[in-house]
Amino acid sequence: MPTHHEPKLIAGNANLPLAETIARRMSLHRGVNQKLVDARVERFNDGEIFVEVYENVRGEDMFIIQPTSNPANDNLMELLIIADALRRSSAARITAVIPYFGYARQDRRTKARTPISAKLVANMLTGAGIERILTMDLHAAQIQGFFDMPVDNLYASPIFALDVKDQFRDQMDDLMVVSPDVGGVARARELAKRISAPLSIVDKRREKAGEVAEMTVIGDVKGKICLIVDDICDTAGTLCKAAQVLIDNGAKEVHSYITHGVMSGPAVERVGNSVMKSLVLTDTIMPTDEIKKAPNIRTVPTAPIFTQAILNIWQGTSVSSLFEDRTLVPIYESLYHTD
């Protein structure tokens, strides 16, 4: 039996299509009309954010769906203010569903006199009255330790594995999973294990942030279909350079699987002009019109796994069970047909 009353969903403006899809899937699962809570999130003329919730939420189990993507500061403030509005309206529990957790790249001090902004954001979320976090592919797993509350970190690799098995069903023996840096080896190894493929690494040396001086491929990629796996694609400069290095080392094709498509600046244009055959993103960040029109970029949905995770949290059942194929395959069976 659920610990709290009915689960209710509310969303900011960061990714309304994802929130609405989650609501539709919850309606399907529960057999009731699960709409987003009626609320308005507006701005005063000077940019101040104002939230008003029109429905009674007293004693309810509330889930705020709001990634902190671009504009990161505005979307973060929307999340905090929505949480405060719910707390002051006597919600029983507030869970922040943050598909993309912004500021996660600032998880440690890399130089003197720099902040650990991810910890600051964690403190702000706690102070707003949020009692649980549900997110996907944190940039660094240790960020979970920044919170004095439960953090459920979902992984995109099980979804990517289903997509790979569907897209490359006749070429599985030719696949090679590639980590674009040493720090992402664990993430790439997880996908490699799921699809029974070997692993390679592109070792990169940076002179300064955002600029790569040199890249070296560790592993034999000659004649292989390479799948680059990473959590964030921002300007796509490093990704496109890694794809070129793999081709230069004899790779037959290069495809990329990225969880969070930040895709700022010239990213889409770079990907379009690169040697990459395809770039696969999840919809944790709402894709722009430019991304939707790009011929070699496509998105895979995260609503099925987020919906089931929300239901499991509400019902007090396991969230980690969603990392197993026997649980994940049924909720994605309409998209990927497996034997």
Please give the positions annotated as active site: 204
What is the DSSP-derived secondary structure letter of residue 124? H
CB distance 18 to 47 below 8 Å: no
Strands in the chain per DSSP E: 7-11, 39-43, 49-53, 61-65, 93-98, 132-136, 151-154, 175-179, 199-208, 211-218, 225-233, 253-261, 278-282, 297-300
What is the DSSP-derived secondary structure letter of residue 274? S
- Between CA 325 and CA 165 the distance in angstroms is 12
Kindly state the tokens that stand for 173.
């023996």
- Between CA 53 and CA 305 the distance in angstroms is 27
**Residue 324 CA to chain centroid, in angstroms?**
18
CB distance 192 to 295 below 8 Å: no
Read off the amino acid at residue 158.
P
Q: How many CB atoms lie within 10 A of CB 94?
A: 23
- Between CA 303 and CA 331 the distance in angstroms is 10
